[in-house]
Amino acid sequence: MIDAIAPAPIEKPDIVVPDAAPLIHLAQAGLLHLLHEVGGAVVLVDMVAHEVTRDLTKPGAATLQTWIDAGRQPGSNRPVRVEETETGRLYAAVLETRPDYKLRNGGETAIVEWLAETIAGTDKAVIVLYENGRVPTVVRNQSLDADIDVLTTRAFLDGIERRDNAHRPSAETYWDRVVASEPTTNPRIQLFSQRRSK
């Protein structure tokens, strides 16, 4: 029997799609700029944008609101796209009558929905950042025909170091900043890769 060889990690993604927890942790640690430095566009699905900015008194939320607003300005040198999803549209409609309603796993659901509708079947390479959610399992179960790496924040920081270890602090230095601001951050270096059919 021949063991399958794991694909090489995506080094230069076309798109980076973070879930809420990595965004919050990177914002608290002052590391949001790293999302742009791997290359490609930074895309937030509407549910994630809502989750990280709905309460501006929470840690990182005001920073993220400012970062999103600046990134959405025409000509921004650190652009951020906020993409609509059906999940986000339905949730917005519910909020009109139930403003305190919270949708469990809404960001993760919207990310996978967006990947299926926008990325599957294209030649775009995508990195999805997550922490403790269901994203890797859901992406695997969807069998999306796309080049996708799903990785934890810690794995993302290790990848940054691997790409350019001579000109920036080490992954451990960045990780120490994340843990200092959010001690419960997932410490695992986890990566799930899926590749499109040729």
What residue spans define the domains of the chain?
15-73+80-126+142-194
Q: What is the pTM of this model?
A: 0.90
* Average pLDDT of span 108-118: 93
- Which overall architecture, per CATH, does domain 15-73+80-126+142-194 show? 3-Layer(aba) Sandwich (3.40)
Alpha helices in the chain (DSSP H): 20-28, 34-37, 46-53, 61-71, 86-97, 106-114, 135-142, 153-163, 171-181
Residue 162 scores a pLDDT above 60: yes
Q: How confident is the model at residue 91 (pLDDT cuts 50, 70, 90)?
A: very high
Q: What is the pLDDT of residues 114-153, one digit of tens each?
A: 999 999 889 999 999 998 778 888 888 888 889 999 999 9
